[in-house]
Every structure is written in structure tokens, then in C-alpha cells.
Amino acid sequence: MRSPGWADLYDWRLERNGGVPLFRQVYAQVRSAVLSGALRPGTKLPSSRAMASALEVARASVVAAYEQLLAEGYVEGRHGSGTFVSADLPSLPRPARRRPPTRAVAPRAVPARAFPEFERATTQTEARPFNTGRTLLDARTMETWRKLTHRAVRSLGANDLGYSDPCGLIELRRGLGDYLQAVRAVRCDPRQIVITAGTQHALDIAIRVLLAPGDEVWVEDPGYPLTHAQLLLAKARPRPIPVDAQGIVVDAGRRVAPRARAAFVTPSHQFPTGVALTMARRLELLAWARASGAFIIEDDYTSEFRYSGAPLASLQGLDEDERVIYVGTLNKALFPGLRLGYAVVPQALLPAFVSARYLMDRQPPTLHQAVVAEFMQQGHFAAHIRRMRQMYREQRDALAATLTRRAAGRLAVEVPDQGMHLVAYLKGGAADTEIEAAAQRAGIVVRAISRFYRAAPPRPGLMLGFSGFPRQLIVPAAARLAALING
């Protein structure tokens, strides 16, 4: 592989009063850079003209040095394209390798054990069924995405290259505002929308704005482990509140931590159970927040992918008191590597929220925002969601049907109305972690949902992502999983 032009940035130096001829010094510098491994084989050297100008010496001195290096085999000339560090210098010493630290450094903010999920999260790139959090993009979206990206690159202007609004591009915020009002009944002015790198980032900002170390916070039990871990990182005190068939049990929250500063919830599709928070509970939750002065952080992930049943409007849309921060993500609607999401922030919190966002990373990257804005404006986003909804629904059905047909005696499969994963509860007291491990050995990724419980007694089950895999892959993998579970 050709090395990039690091030689142009190398700190070439000459000693003018040292008595050593200049050509000799150039020769010695290059040779030592090659021998020390600082310049790797294949690296292009600066042209003799550029080197001479950088060192303020006659070009002839550089030419003489290069010729000597060439003769000795340190560098090679490629006709018409320049001088390169020789590709085969077998006796070169390897660049010194950094020694790994002998012991991991214990983080000061949180106990190291707080993040067992990090390890698992890194496997999310894995393309094996039934890994969660994966999305599919069909050929139409890919093609459109490429076209719009090329166009955005071609029309990069001063605004795209410089610092800009920490809240994000107004075109994208307007597009999102229209979408959220129409589809999620979110009530907002586009100026209340802050573009983030995704849910994770939005939650982090909310935590910084709302919480001081030691503050109590409601989290769902079972719940999303990264929210819990983020709260620990901020030294807040997450209090697990049980979830039942109607969603988070507000009454239990009032008993456990009546004066909590905030509640982090996933009302449209509880993570990981998939339960939708009922209207009665929504009103109860809002009433608690109003009475106690708490805020609710509504994580509305995967709301784009609703397959059946009337969609429940967002909690934010029911809120008369500006107590809800609504958080959405494009990383699920499009693809996780995009790293774009948004928060709809109550007016009273907006200045603090924008300041925190600015201090963390100034602003979102402009190019991808411009692409998404265009993607939305031209109607591709809505069409993409419609097509993916159909595809994911078929994948969900194929998974549920195969598991139910083959392992009905061992699994109670819940078919969710929304989302990108389903939960198959285990019948007969099997341990979900054991099945998780056995499946892993068989090349299948499942997540034991007992891992997502904190204080509530776990109901063992398997969380299976269906969004990232075509039907043709899902059916045989589900059959293999069923066989494994049947023993």
C-alpha cells in the first residue's frame, strides 16, 4: 500500500555551521528517517525541488543526496512519479512498539464494572443474526444517498467549511420539525430542535443540563443499559422503577424516589420489552413531573418502524407544561454509522442545552446534515421509511413464525407492533444467559434480557434483532436457534 505524504511533514533539519557538506546532511537525514522506521517503505519523498526549497539549499545538493540513497537501495525511483522509500528493506528495524500498560487504569468517575455492556456494544458491527441495532438500506436508498452526497460535496461552500450553528442546520431542523409534528404529534418550533450525534449524545447533554452528582433519577427496570451507565458516569443515582404490561409503574416510582429530578423512559416501545406506555400511565407520569418539577426524557427510538396498532402520539405532544425533552435518532431510521439524532428541548432549557452542546463538540458536522435535509425534502426519507417498514415487518414475521413453529413448547414469542427486535420469553425456567452462550458458540447472536434487569426479578427471555438481516438469513438461523433451544 502506498503511504500518504508524511515525508512532506517530516521535520527535516540542516546544521549550517557544522562543517558537514549539505548534500551529506540531506543524505544522512533521509537514511536515518528510513532506518528508524519513521518513514515507512513506500513513502513518497518530497520532490528534490520541494526539499531544496524547504531546506533552503541548492537543488543540486538534494539531487546528489537522493542519488546516493538510490545507489545504496534506501530509496527507489519510479519513473515519472517520484522517489519512494524502498518497498523491500528486509533488515530494517521495526518501529518501536508501545508496550501495553501492565494494568488497566481504573476510571475515577465510575467503577470499571459499570460498563459490562461496552464489551457487547462493540460487537454491534457484527453481521450475524440476530444482532440488534442493525439496519438495512435497499438499493434505492443507497443510490439516492450516493447521489445526494456527491451533490453536497460538489456544492460545499464557506458555510459548510466553517463553524456554524451549534443547534445544526436550520434546513434539517425544519424538515425534522415538519416530520415530528405530522407523524409523532410533537409540538415544536424548529428552533427548539438541537441536532446531536444520536440518542447517546442527546441523553448526555440532558444529563449535564438537568442533574448534579447524587441526584436521583427514574430509569426503567428492565431498561436500556447505556442510559443507566451514562447516569453513573455523571454520578447521578439511577433508581430502577419496574415496568409491567402498561409500561413504567409510575406509582412505584413515586414510592421509591418521589423527588427524583428526572425520568428516562422509552414510552412508544419500552426497551427491551416492547411494551407501549398506556395513555393512563402517560398522563400519570406527566402529572408527577408537573407536581414535582421533574423532567421526562422521552427516548422515541424506532418510532419510525410501527407495523400495526394505532401509533400512540409522543409524550411530548401531550405535555402542557414543557416538562419533556423528546429525543429521536436518525441512526435507526437510516443507519447507525450516520451518527445523527436530535432533541426537542423545552424553551426554558434551551439556552443551557445549547451551551452544553456547544462546549462538548461545538456543532454537528455539516455535510451529512445537508444530505439528510435534502433526503427529507425530496421525499426520500418518507419513502425509505415506508419501504423499510414493509421489509422489517416481513422479517419480524419470518422470525416469529419460525421460532413459534419450531419451539412453541420452549418459547413464548411476543410479536411487537414496533421496533427492530422481538423478545422470545423462555418457558420452563431455562436460563437465558446459558442459551445466549450456547447460541454464541453456534454462531448466533442473542441477548439474554435478564441482563437488562436491575432490582426487579428478571423474566428470562431472548432479545433478537430482526431488522438487520434479510428473510433468507433469518429463517435458517431461527431454525438453528430453535433446535438449540429444544436441546
Residue nearest to ligand PLP (CB): 198
Identify which of 268, 315, 265, 312 has the alpha carbon closest to the alpha carbon of residue 287. Answer: 315
Q: Which is nearer to ligand PLP, 166 or 222 (CB)?
A: 222
The cell for 11 is 521535520
Contacting range for ligand PLP; rule: CB under 6 A; set: 69-77, 196-204, 209-217, 357-365: 196-204
Residue 423 CA to residue 279 CA, distance in Å, equals 23
- Nearest-approach distance from CB 328 to ligand PLP, in angstroms: 8
Contacting range for ligand PLP; rule: CB under 6 A; set: 26-34, 185-193, 243-251, 325-333: 325-333
Contacting range for ligand PLP; rule: CB under 6 A; set: 41-49, 198-206, 233-241, 306-314: 198-206
- Nearest-approach distance from CB 159 to ligand PLP, in angstroms: 26
The cell for 220 is 426503567
Tell me which residue has cell 409491567: 244
For the beta carbon of residue 192, count every other beta carbon within 10 angstroms. Answer: 22
Q: Which of 115, 218, 224, 453 is close enough to bind ligand PLP by CB under 6 A?
A: 224
Contact 460, 448 (CB under 8 A): yes
Q: Which is nearer to ligand PLP, 39 or 202 (CB)?
A: 202
Contact 328, 228 (CB under 8 A): no
Phi, psi dihedral angles at 145 (to 5 degrees) = -60, -45
- Nearest-approach distance from CB 113 to ligand PLP, in angstroms: 21
Residue 171 CA to residue 195 CA, distance in Å, equals 11
Asked if 363 interacts with ligand PLP (CB under 6 A), we say no
Query: How would you classify the pairing of strands 421-426 and 411-414?
Result: antiparallel
Residue 214 CA to residue 184 CA, distance in Å, equals 34
Asked if 117 interacts with ligand PLP (CB under 6 A), we say no
The cell for 390 is 414493509
Asked if 133 interacts with ligand PLP (CB under 6 A), we say yes
Contact 224, 271 (CB under 8 A): yes
- Nearest-approach distance from CB 220 to ligand PLP, in angstroms: 9
Contacting range for ligand PLP; rule: CB under 6 A; set: 97-105, 164-172, 324-332, 345-353: 324-332
Size of the site for ligand PLP (CB under 6 A): 14
Contacting range for ligand PLP; rule: CB under 6 A; set: 54-62, 94-102, 326-334, 373-381: 326-334
Q: Which is nearer to ligand PLP, 271 or 305 (CB)?
A: 271
Contact 295, 321 (CB under 8 A): no
Q: Which is nearer to ligand PLP, 192 or 196 (CB)?
A: 196
Residue 209 CA to residue 202 CA, distance in Å, equals 11
Binding to ligand PLP (CB under 6 A) within 243-302 occurs at: 266, 271, 299, 301
Q: Which is nearer to ligand PLP, 134 or 406 (CB)?
A: 134
Q: Which is nearer to ligand PLP, 23 or 271 (CB)?
A: 271
Cα R_g (the chain), whole angstroms: 29
- Nearest-approach distance from CB 197 to ligand PLP, in angstroms: 7
- Nearest-approach distance from CB 115 to ligand PLP, in angstroms: 15
How many separate helices (H) and strands (E) can be counted in the chain? 18, 14
Q: Which is nearer to ligand PLP, 200 or 433 (CB)?
A: 200
Residues 327-346, one symbol each (x = binds ligand PLP by CB under 6 A, - = not), give: --x-xx---x----x-----
- Nearest-approach distance from CB 233 to ligand PLP, in angstroms: 15
- Nearest-approach distance from CB 463 to ligand PLP, in angstroms: 10
Contact 357, 167 (CB under 8 A): yes
End-to-end CA distance of the chain: 49
Please name the residues in contact with 197: beta carbons below 8 A apart, sequence gap of 6 or more: 339, 340, 341, 361, 364
Q: Which is nearer to ligand PLP, 200 or 404 (CB)?
A: 200
Query: Exposed, middle or buried by CB within 10 Å (0-12, 13-18, 19+), for 206?
Result: buried
Interface ranges with ligand PLP (CB under 6 A): 133, 198-200, 224, 266, 271, 299, 301, 329, 331-332, 336, 341
